[in-house]
Amino acid sequence: MSKTAVIIGASSGIGKAMAEALSLEGYTLGLTGRRITLLEKIKESLPGETFISKMDVSDAPTTSLQFEELLEKMGAVDLVIISAGIGHPNPDLDSALELETIDTNVSGFVVIADAAFRHFQKQGKGQLVGISSIGALRGNGVGPAYSASKAFVSNYMEGLRIKALKEKLDISITDVRPGFVDTPMAKGDGLFWVASPAKAASQIIKAFKAGKSCVYVTRRWNLVAWLLRLMPTKIVAKI
């Protein structure tokens, strides 16, 4: 039985690592990203059949059309992974940076997640995986829009999961909450427990194959998540 997956944001980082791992497992892939030259290089390096599409998820109307076109080319798609996202250290609260984060992490995410859900409804089954962040658990004074946007992603996926359960749909939804991963997104001093993209991808793939609804990557971040939920805001502000 053929296996097919679309990875949104596959030109680098976790998305690229998942593309490499899934291609080795025999998946036919659809890969998207803003940098088409990087996608072309990745396509050449992968062993399996691969479709590519230049896509900037911050442009929601165009993204919707491009995603639908990619699904049409590929036919039935079993799995959609939304790995595209941005974040800016923004202590000066530059509104342009905050809005760019929202356009990508919120508006772009919704367009893909909704289209994927509708696709799975029509074909009767599917899996949706969204990359949120451990940062979704609390606000962030250095980058308020980033943590807020990731909280949106986690809650939106829970909403879709509830919708699937109510409608008795065979749609699995996995909320991935990474800690620090060695990608351009990991910025700043004092980073710890930094995982390689390959290790993060391996744990994510294992989690969605097991049908988990939520997973922290790497697993040790479960402890940090537990502590973050308990900390008073005054303590969080000192971290």
Query: Which of 59, 179, 156, 74 lies closest to 123 in space, CA to CA?
Result: 74
pLDDT-flagged residues of the chain (< 70): 1-2, 184-192
Exposure letters 98-128 (e unless 16+ CB within 10 A, then b): bebbbbbbbbbbbbbbebbbebbbeeeebbb
The pTM of this model reads 0.93
Q: DSSP character for 15?
A: H
pLDDT in the model for residue 181: 86
Q: Are 50 and 43 in contact (CB under 8 A)?
A: yes
Residue 218: cis peptide before it, omega within 30 degrees of 0: yes
Hey, what are 235's tokens? 């303590």
Domains of the chain and CATH, by start: 3-236 (3.40.50.720)
Q: Burial level of 79, CB count in 10 A (0-12/13-18/19+)?
A: buried
pLDDT in the model for residue 233: 87
pLDDT in the model for residue 217: 94
pLDDT in the model for residue 212: 96
Q: What is the pLDDT of residues 42-95, one digit of tens each?
A: 999 999 999 999 999 999 889 999 999 999 999 889 999 999 999 899 999 999
The pair phi, psi for residue 9, each rounded to 5°, is: 90, 55
| H or E, element range at 172 | strand 170-178
pLDDT in the model for residue 187: 54
